[in-house]
Amino acid sequence: MPKATFYTHVAQVPIFTCRLIARAIRDGGRILVWSDSFGQLQELDKTLWQYEAESFVPHEVWTIEYPMPTDTPVLLATGDRIPEIAENMTVLNLSDDFWNAAPVLPERILEIVGGSFEELAEARGRFAAYRKSGFDIGHHDMGGKA
């Protein structure tokens, strides 16, 4: 059963994103970071290069019109459609897209949600859609945590 985990009330989204990515690949997993903004991906790429110099996070920007790279643990991508991915991948969804309608369901979806009313309302919609699609749902309120 696929799993969707929501991290809500995140204050510093870029730093939290880097932490979550590093933790997700620590055990040899692969992660696709999906965004609806190429600018956001460029910023994340830059932040990952600067994040904890002693623990480099290998990553690359993937253009979904080309075959998915298989030798990089972290792929950063955006596009006008959800791409087909390997079954065992984790997706860190930084977009408004609903991954429960993906051509291949990810093993796990991670959703980072800020604290604004709009962000929380959009996340509730994805939460309900994932639950209705049979996903196991997890939630972590990051309010007041570093």
146 inside domain = no
Report the alpha-carbon distance of residue 14 to residue 20 in Å, rounded.
Answer: 10
The mean of the pLDDT values for the chain is: 89
Say which amino acid occupies 58.
P
Which of 33, 12, 26 is closest to 106 using CA atoms?
Answer: 33
Q: What's the pTM?
A: 0.91
Percent pLDDT > 90 in the chain is 47
Total structural domains within the chain: 1
Q: Given pLDDT bands bounded at 50, 70 and 90, which one contains residue 14?
A: confident
Pair of tokens at residue 88: 């065992």
Find out whether 60 and 46 touch, Cβ atoms under 8 Å.
no
27 inside domain = yes
Helix, strand, or coil here: 25? helix
Beta-carbon contacts of 7 under 8 Å, excluding residues fewer than 6 positions away, are 16, 20, 110, 111, 112, 113, 140, 142
For residue 15, pLDDT beyond 60:
yes
Residue 25 CA from chain centroid, whole number: 12
Q: What pLDDT was estimated at residue 101?
A: 84
Report the alpha-carbon distance of residue 53 to residue 110 in Å, rounded.
Answer: 24
**40-46 average pLDDT score:** 89
113 inside domain = yes
**Residue 23 sits in a domain of what CATH number?**
3.40.50.10110
Domain containing residue 40? 3-141
Over residues 46-95, the pLDDT tens digits come to: 888 877 766 678 889 999 999 999 888 999 999 888 998 887 889 999 98
